[in-house]
Structure 1
Amino acid sequence: MFKKNYIALIFPLLMFSCNVKKFIPEGEQLYTGASLHLETHLAKKEKEEIQNDLEKLLRPTPNSKVLGMRFGLWAHYKGEKEKPGFINRFLNRKFGERPVYLTQVEPEKTSNILMNRLENKGFFFSQSSYQVVEKGKFASLSYKVSFSEPYTLETYQILGDSLPIMKDIQTQLDRTIMVKGSRLDLDELKKERERIDRDLKSKGYYNFNPDLLIFEADTNQYEGRKFDLYLRLKSNTPIKATFPYTIEHIQVFPDYNVHLDNGEGDTVKVNGIEFIQKPEIFKPELLQKYILFREGSKFNPEISRTTSNRLSNIGNFRYVNISYDLGDTLLREDGTYPLNANIYLSPLNKRSVRAEVQGLTKSNSFVGPALLLGYQNRNIFRGGEIFNLTGKFGYEVQLASGNREALQSIEMGLTGSLVFPRVLFPVPVMNRFRYSIPKTRISASYEYQNRTDLYLLYSYNTSFGYFWNVNRYVYHEFNPVSLSIVNLARTTPKFDEILNANPFLRRSFEQQFISGMNYTFNYNQLADPERKNAIFFGATVDLSGNLFRGINALFGSENPGTIFGLEFAQYLKGDVDLRYYKKFTKENVLVSRIFAGLGIPVGNSLSLPFVKQYFAGGPRSVRAFRIRALGPGTFIPEDISAGGFFDQAGDIRLEGNLEYRFPFNKYLKGAFFVDAGNVWLYNENQALPGGKFTNSWADELAVGGGFGLRVDIQLFVIRLDAAVPLRKPWLLEQSPWQDRFRLGSRDWRRDNLVLNFAIGYPF
């Protein structure tokens, strides 16, 4: 029955994909693409690189397919009928693609382009052929390319090495990519010129560019396909391009305005750098630490880019522009020309006030309106410091799930933070960081939370820490101080009953003091949009209570689990998040994700504090199950009431996701997905039978799948996912796998079909 239901769902899709055949006109064949076969003795990796390069030249591109369906082509045919109707016209306008027929293909022209590209790669006098592969109304092309023996490098020499610039090229020739045996590849020659240009620029050759270099190949010295390579300067190379440049004068304008005369301010010189501003916008002694070049140093574009990046990361400037102009036209005694550096910094508005009315949807299923008032002061102490003060008032109600009661909440809060664009540390460490200087953040907040039918909670939080980027891929955040005090001021008899039924839950609310440190590491290749396949790896470590436990043990405290009269939580917690993005095309992506989190309660803690626990289900987890509707383990509440919301959390979380994303058009995207996961307890809890993590954890995973629609307009993504459970772990002793799909049954849909509305992609 399980397989039949899936076949019943897939079969109509397959039939739909074939429907375009009847629209293809007589005498035409739909072009379905081309294949390319290479006959060569090249190594596997080199062959794959050339194959990928040549396949990009195959034209034209056939009509797109989504899961085997030519939806765009079908929409075009339906919309071009004599009386298409409103829906078909709309589909054609939004999704339609004009058909690509075999008669539009020019295989001879494509073959010539392939041969030209091979010649650029050193394979002269290769051969190519093609044939048409017909399948009724459909046709494709098969190209075959037979490689010739390539020309390979024998020697590589620099001509004119009596010139200083040629001597500098000669000194770094050991880093060349043109080694003996290299092919006569035009792309490799371009890379070699660019490599030489980068090296010369790092030595101060400001006016040089790679087009001033020319390669000459000599094949007459050998009987076989070998060549000697010579590099020289072009005859019309300007003299000023052949000498390095030294920075002679540095000026900084911290309050630059393109519409004003910026040279009338007061000038202050710090470490040889002139700061021109009136009044003082930014303290020169602080700003100069972000500038990496000094008077007398040779021009270096990499140092210039890094300086620009450091200044931009302060967060106070709308744009940063570093420009250079030639100084004295005479050659200096040290054999360099002078260069002046000007740094223009255009500041953002210093103060801003905002008011927002929000409609919130949270990961814990709470929705409702909120009023947000915020004040921001950039550069509050004239050192790039950013002060933020935010106040919030909100009313929320948790959407009921089945028979589960809806919880109501009134929240008020005040949060203040101060970010310093430098490291506040007893020892100077700023010079150790080149790409981005770490920022120091101090924050404090107060929150009032009234779950009207359950409890009244006050919480106070403060933290001190650092965050920074090592490069555009790697991010670190370290908070050596993180304090939270939670005061459960009032409880209702209903909530007391919930706590009495679950001693672990009671303990998680009684531990009012959470103190420790945490560290976050992210490696994100998605920062490179041109990367074909990307990896994201995130890891977090959170430690709490261990310092206080050690202090109490040192002084022999009678109450080792309390500090200042407050019971504190003690735990070790860490989690990892690994994602892999496989790009078939720019927008056809297969995303796989594994998440694993472990919290170990130690000392006087039986479980993690409630605010630190894991939960599963919902729009960013196993989407076929509602928020906190999974676990722990095989546990399921006997009475799905407010208590179930607090019971279904754990100390351990394992989750895996697989999602295939594809476009319908520029803004509307689709996705098919499968999710699996659950949460478990670290310690046995008699109130939650089946909740402890055991070796049979794999049998206790929940599995769900579904389809999603996303409106992606780049600024934000609106997401709607529909999912159904495929495996329910609490039915382990019966039959956990879903054996029937009755989409026509209202009762079945109510119990199984889950809709998730969210902002942003799930991962």
Structure 2
Amino acid sequence: MKIKSTDILVFGLLLLFLAACSVKKFIPEDEFLYTGSKLKIDSEESIKDYKGLKSELEGLIRPEPNSKVLGMYFGLWTHYKGSKEKPGFINRFLKKKFGEEPVYFSKVNPGTTEELMVNRLENNGYFYSTASSEVERGDKFASVGYQVEVSRPYLLRDFSIDRDSLEIDKEIKALMEDTPLKKGGRFDLSMLTRERERLDEELKKLGYYNFNANYLIFEADTNVNDQREFDLFLRFRSNTPNSGVIPYVVNNIRIFPNYSVMEEEDKIDTVTIDGKDFIQGVEVFKPRLLEQYVLLEKGERYSPVKSRLTSSRLSSIGNYRFVNLRYEELGDSVTKGNLDASIYLSPLNKRSVRVELQGVSKSNNFAGPALNLIYRNRNLFQGGETMNLTAKFAYENQIAGGQLSGLNSIELGLKADLIFPRVVFFIPIKEKFSYSVPKTKMSLGTEYQNRGGLYRLNTFSANYGYYWNANRFVYHEINPISLNLVNLSRTSPEFEEILDNNPFLRRSFEQQFIAGINYTYNYNKLSDRFRTHGIFIGTTLDLAGNGLNLAKSITGGEPGTFLGLNFAQYSRVDLDLRYYLRLDQNNTIATRLFGGVGLPYGNSESLPFVKQFFSGGPNSIRAFRIRGLGPGTYRPEEVSLGSFFDQAGDIRLEGNIEYRFPLVSVLKGALFVDAGNVWLINENEALPGGKFTSNWWNEMAVGAGFGARVDIEFFVIRFDLATPLRVPYLPDNERWGNTFDVGSKTWRRENLIFNFAIGYPF
């Protein structure tokens, strides 16, 4: 059975037409369906920002009429049909999913709307404006036409601050140099409100602990002349307390590193460092190390910014369950107030053991159960250090592998991480990063992997680096030392044959030692679900072998080897751009552009296998199986284990767009289109057509499909079904097109690709 897109469109339009034609008969005899309103604005002169003013006034018109689809009341029709005495299953479902309560004219109050419009115009400086309305009734339908006469606005002639006797008055005058209130500007009540809030925020930063925006009042005098001008005065309310207009300084700073209501007071000792008192019994956290996280200074003015950052920095150590910063006022003064700061830190349990049973889904389409045993020791050396020991066992099998067989693996691993909540360097660094403190991470790990029937890998890794958040959106990570030692052993005859057929692949597995430096930068504004426009920019730079190559050139010895091992030499960089357009809280259009390139050089002719790019699979081009694309126009003669290893490259370009929408409860749906491919930097005779050329755009694969996601906030299970629209390895004139012969078993087997994964693809 072949289904044409034109048939679907005609059927959908017919359904909507029938729905619209049947709405009128459901409207009660004594009601009119409200169809909306029109707004006409007249003015004595041209209005600056006419569109903005009209949009603001239209936003006051209530209620909103029922929505239309192609000019037809589909949502209203589903409500009426689903509200019948015996609606049936389909009508009940449509009502629940699309139904809208009818908006009748009896709910409309034009007089109230007129008052709101006039009031809003006066708030914007258009005093003495008027508004009127006219109701239009037809056969069971009614609408309203509003007409607004906008007067000439009042403009600011002069602005002054009434007093200047106190220090706060001088502070306000200095802050008003940056005010948006300018002579000749239109009266704007919302701007005055925002200006009071700005002054409140800035004065608190200057130490005015008890200041409140309500202490300030703007007064406007519109009787200064007949030119529609006004004078503006900034004053303090008459009942403003003295404590609200004096700055406060921090007197004493007390820190309790091991705060507990059970702690015995007679065993508590105090250590003072740089004007800060550290109060604890048995030393839990070394004061000289903890002091670096506290930005407050004795004798300085109160600062809400430093207070917030201090709490954030202490929380980021990862050793404390609660961080509580409290201020206490010390009496009252005419010119200056004093505060005592107390910081109460409640530690987490020092040691913990956690067992995790996981369902693992990897980007290479391997999935299976995994068992992790994690031991954690917090505050190891009384400086906030955390040691993690992780033991892992996993069994994985490649799903959606088509004709591939034998692709399963058993993994055993042991890893140790030691994290210092500060910069550890051979030169002492006492940093004062304002937002968060960089952490130093040292890692050692070993892993055994048995790829069933093919080979065994023994891996040793060591890393030393730093990571930190520059602010709530920006993340940095740099690893000056990144070592990986891979020992390929017990290869099967079948795998040896694969390597013999592709010398480049053999060399990529022979690069057993990877030593280099890598850097990661992320700018992430996707996490805020209420943000209309979400942006993510991520990039990773990976350099390997350059230091070893330089050392070998100085010391001599066999080129391209270190301690008798071949080492890889390459540069690799990728860029990940994502943009989310949130139509509302439940509907999102998510897009991604990804580009990556790896350049082997020196003693390397190809990237190490683990560093190569691949395309296809649940987090890539979903209409093609894992490693089922590329490089370029290359196509293996048969789908086999060899093609699994062959179809990778040095360059990857990819673009994705996905519309995400709710279905029912925690089940969400998606429609998506993916495009991309991988290519080689150097020609490989074993992979003809794989090299990147100027004709790369004609070698892009395109796929589309739909998916379902079980989204329970912290956990997402994803199912995607996709089909190819453009196949790059076909002849030029046959690459576009798909018969969509859904009734054919052969077509379904070759063109419907099912993907299962954990989490969203991007």
With normalisation by structure 2, the TM-score equals: 0.92
User: What are the residue-to-residue correspondences of 1:39-54 with 2, within 5 Å?
Assistant: 46-47=49-50, 49-50=52-53, 53-54=56-57
Residue matched to 1:737: 736
Residue matched to 2:752: 753
User: What are the residue-to-residue correspondences of 1:516-595 with 2, within 5 Å?
Assistant: 516-557=516-557, 559-595=558-594
Q: Does 2:454 align with 1:454?
A: yes
Residue matched to 2:614: 615
- Secondary structure of the 2:171 match is helix
| Sequence identity percentage | 55
Q: 1:345 to 1:680 in 2, by over 3 A?
A: same
Q: Contact 2:724–2:738 (CA<8 Å) still a contact in 1?
A: no
1:301 to 294, 304, 311: 304
Q: Unaligned stretches of 5+ in structure 2? A: none
Q: 1:112 to 1:248 in 2, by over 3 A?
A: same
Instruction: Determine the C-alpha separation between the residues in 2 that align with 1:566 and 1:33.
Output: 77
Q: Does 2:265 align with 1:265?
A: no
Q: Does 2:658 align with 1:659?
A: yes
Instruction: Determine the C-alpha separation between the residues in 2 that align with 1:133 and 1:385.
Output: 74
Q: Contact 1:16–1:69 (CA<8 Å) still a contact in 2?
A: no
Residue matched to 1:444: 444
Instruction: Determine the C-alpha separation between the residues in 1 that align with 2:40 and 2:502.
Output: 67
Q: 1:686 to 1:112 in 2, by over 3 A?
A: farther
Residue matched to 2:194: 191
Residue matched to 2:165: 162
Instruction: Determine the C-alpha separation between the residues in 2 that align with 1:132 and 1:694.
Output: 67
Residue matched to 2:394: 394
Q: 1:281 to 1:71 in 2, by over 3 A?
A: farther
User: What are the residue-to-residue correspondences of 1:296-695 with 2, within 5 Å?
Assistant: 296-330=299-333, 335-557=335-557, 559-664=558-663, 667-695=666-694
Q: Contact 1:256–1:262 (CA<8 Å) still a contact in 2?
A: no
**Residues 630-687 of structure 1: CA deviation (Å, up to 9, x unaligned):** 1111111111011111111111000111222233456333322211111111111111
- Secondary structure of the 2:633 match is coil
Deviation at 1:758, TM superposition (A): 2.2
- Secondary structure of the 1:357 match is strand
Deviation at 1:173, TM superposition (A): 2.1
User: What are the residue-to-residue correspondences of 1:146-295 with 2, within 5 Å?
Assistant: 147-257=150-260, 265-295=268-298
Instruction: Determine the C-alpha separation between the residues in 2 that align with 1:188 and 1:42.
Output: 22
**Residues 397-456 of structure 1: CA deviation (Å, up to 9, x unaligned):** 112433222411111111111111111123454534111111111111111100121001
Q: Contact 1:519–1:542 (CA<8 Å) still a contact in 2?
A: yes
Q: Contact 2:368–2:395 (CA<8 Å) still a contact in 1?
A: yes
Instruction: Determine the C-alpha separation between the residues in 2 that align with 1:602 and 1:104.
Output: 74
The answer to which of 34-43 and 150-159 deviates more is: 34-43
Q: Does 2:115 align with 1:115?
A: no
Q: 1:26 to 1:346 in 2, by over 3 A?
A: same
The answer to which of 385-394 and 706-715 deviates more is: 706-715
Deviation at 1:551, TM superposition (A): 1.6
Deviation at 1:37, TM superposition (A): 6.8
User: What are the residue-to-residue correspondences of 1:22-33 with 2, within 5 Å?
Assistant: 22=22, 25-26=26-27
Counterpart AA for 2:276: I
Deviation at 1:707, TM superposition (A): 1.9
- Secondary structure of the 1:478 match is strand
Q: 1:286 to 1:10 in 2, by over 3 A?
A: farther
- Secondary structure of the 2:344 match is strand
Q: Contact 1:682–1:693 (CA<8 Å) still a contact in 2?
A: yes
Counterpart AA for 1:232: R
Q: 1:586 to 1:183 in 2, by over 3 A?
A: farther
Deviation at 1:159, TM superposition (A): 0.5
Q: Contact 1:263–1:276 (CA<8 Å) still a contact in 2?
A: no
Instruction: Determine the C-alpha separation between the residues in 1 that align with 2:587 and 2:516.
Output: 43
Deviation at 1:167, TM superposition (A): 2.1
Instruction: Determine the C-alpha separation between the residues in 1 that align with 2:616 and 2:88.
Output: 42
Instruction: Determine the C-alpha separation between the residues in 1 that align with 2:474 and 2:352.
Output: 31
Q: 1:139 to 1:359 in 2, by over 3 A?
A: farther
- Secondary structure of the 1:526 match is coil
Q: 1:75 to 1:375 in 2, by over 3 A?
A: farther
Q: 1:243 to 1:601 in 2, by over 3 A?
A: same
**Residues 225-254 of structure 1: CA deviation (Å, up to 9, x unaligned):** 221110011100111112111111111122
Aligned length: 757
The answer to which of 253-262 and 416-425 deviates more is: 253-262
Q: 1:747 to 1:229 in 2, by over 3 A?
A: same
Q: Contact 1:127–1:146 (CA<8 Å) still a contact in 2?
A: yes
The answer to which of 508-517 and 316-325 deviates more is: 316-325
Instruction: Determine the C-alpha separation between the residues in 2 that align with 1:190 and 1:241.
Output: 19
Instruction: Determine the C-alpha separation between the residues in 1 that align with 2:135 and 2:727.
Output: 51
Q: Contact 1:19–1:74 (CA<8 Å) still a contact in 2?
A: no
Instruction: Determine the C-alpha separation between the residues in 1 that align with 2:567 and 2:447.
Output: 19
Q: 1:488 to 1:638 in 2, by over 3 A?
A: same
**Residues 439-498 of structure 1: CA deviation (Å, up to 9, x unaligned):** 111111111100121001111111111111111111111111100001001100000011
Q: 1:103 to 1:700 in 2, by over 3 A?
A: farther
Instruction: Determine the C-alpha separation between the residues in 2 that align with 1:189 and 1:34.
Output: 31
Q: 1:117 to 1:734 in 2, by over 3 A?
A: same
With normalisation by structure 1, the TM-score equals: 0.92
Counterpart AA for 2:707: G
Instruction: Determine the C-alpha separation between the residues in 2 that align with 1:697 and 1:245.
Output: 65
Q: Contact 2:630–2:677 (CA<8 Å) still a contact in 1?
A: yes
Instruction: Determine the C-alpha separation between the residues in 2 that align with 1:36 and 1:177.
Output: 30
Counterpart AA for 2:657: L
User: What are the residue-to-residue correspondences of 1:77-156 with 2, within 5 Å?
Assistant: 77-85=80-88, 89=92, 92=95, 97-128=100-131, 147-156=150-159
Deviation at 1:132, TM superposition (A): 7.6
